[in-house]
Chain A
Amino acid sequence: MRVVLPSPLFSYSGGQREIEATSETLAQLMGVLDGRFPGMRHRIVDEQNRIRPHIRFFVNGDSATTLDHRLSADDEVLIVAALSGG
């Protein structure tokens, strides 16, 4: 699946905006991202597995509010830094 990262995470991804990954849930995807870009998960998901307040996830354009959201191979996952947090 295609995963699109917001600019606040570029310091982890080395400037990469889009990556390819394989995961069955958003929770699993967070593990994949953190394995590839250590430290990234904690900045966008808290220790209670809640998506942080100013981060949003969209799967194929629909908002996903919990990490147990299921994913398919051809999904597009958008991680967005909300229009807030200033």
Chain B
Amino acid sequence: MVSLLVGTRKGAFVYRGDTARKTWQVDGPHFLGSIVNHLVLDPRDGRTLLLAAKTGHLGPTVFRSTDGGKNWAEAKTPPAFKTVPSGEKGRAVDSVFWLTAGHVSEPDVWYAGTAPVGLFRSADGGATWAEVEGFNDRLYERIKDSVVNVPDGSLVHSILVHPEDPRRVYIGLSTGGVFESTDGGESWVPLNKGIEASFLPDGNAEFGHDPHLLAMHPLDPERLYQQNHCGIYRLDRPSVEWRRIGAHMPKEIGDIGFPVVLHPRDRECLWVFPMDGTDVWPRVSPGGRPAAYRSRDGGASWERQDRGMPERQAWWTVKRQAFCADARDPVGLYFGTTSGEIWSSTDEGASWSQISAHLPEIYSVVAAEV
């Protein structure tokens, strides 16, 4: 059965679908009042849940459940930077923003991305977390002038482990750029060529860009897509130069947004959810008319998919972790909105229906087979 793991500004919810994915039973809230940035299932065992949480008052931590969310255990050592000597200025994790299960050959490994930018690794299923020093020390030292002093902006997301090589990892830094490691995080190389960065003084900067989300195709991990602050891009490795496939989006819609979702079996098929990135950046659906856009040719052309969605005066949008696909045929698509609604499609975006409303602001929606 497909379940939707939903993280919100005020707690987590699990929606369990029937076989047709038409009716949904809600389980929750879990951790009512907690800010839940990410709730994910371990795809390696199909059972373990990890949840990234903080509250308005309390600091960030990670919880783990091995019984479908009935019981939770807090990490003994949550992600935290090293303590610096008194008098020196050290960093402190403000939020655990992103969780990624490690490679299938490393069943207890997890990665966590944080704000401010930090990368952490657990080798014991999420009980204890340690810094990835190649990232938090060496890379950070090199790029810190590009990622600091941005209110609310600097965080680590899109931790993508190559399915054929656990040492090969891609990562996205909001106000930092895309980086690749081929040695398990010891060293990192910027991967931002071809990406526009209209907010940087140097248009050819090596890093400092603002990826909103990266996606790697599960069947062809050399095919990467990126929804960036400045457009939609595609990269076919071993090339290191991104191409702006969002240039083919309708001009009145533009190619700004947060999420990008890939078809699980067709590397040419992807969905985005545009938002208004004009003048003062309203970050709402363009014109108050929300829609997903699908490309079936790797971004050469796009089609609007909005049947069933509000036709006017709907001023919400979809955040970067809040749009996802299941692996069924036809593919099911699910997104959560900034206004607390969950929408789904069981026909690959041709039509949409609302699963739920009146939730807190939704930060993440993850489809999982449970």
Contacts and interface: CB of A to CB of B under 8 A. Distances in A.
Contacts of B58: 8-9, 43-44, 52, 55
Interface string A53-82: 011000000000000000000000000011
A81 B59 contact: no
Given A38-B76, A39-B74, A46 B59 contact: yes
The dominant DSSP class at the B interface is loop
Contacts of B82: 47
B92 A54 contact: no
A61 B91 CA distance: 30
A47 B56 contact: no
Contacts of A85: 55-57
Contacts of B309: none
A43 B86 CA distance: 20
Contact of A47 (B76, B86, B92): B92
Interface string B257-271: 000000000000000
A82 to B, nearest CB: 7
B90 interface: yes
B254 interface: no
Contacts of A48: 81, 83-84, 90-92
Interface residues of B, number: 19
Contacts of B59: 42-46, 52
Nearest to A52: B59
Nearest to B75: A39
**Chain A: interface secondary structure?**
loop
A38 B56 CA distance: 20
B10 to A, nearest CB: 10
Interface residues of A, number: 22
Interface in B44-92: 55-59, 61, 74, 76, 78, 80-84, 86, 90-92
B143 interface: no
A47 B81 contact: yes
A55 B57 contact: yes
A81 to B, nearest CB: 4
A33 B83 CA distance: 20
Nearest to A86: B56
Given A46-B92, A47-B90, A39 B61 contact: yes
A1 to B, nearest CB: 23
A9 B61 CA distance: 14
B78 A42 contact: yes
A47 B90 CA distance: 8
A38 B78 CA distance: 12
Given A8-B57, A81-B57, 12 more contacts: A39-B74, A42-B59, A44-B58, A45-B59, A46-B92, A47-B93, A48-B84, A48-B92, A52-B59, A84-B56, A85-B56, A86-B56
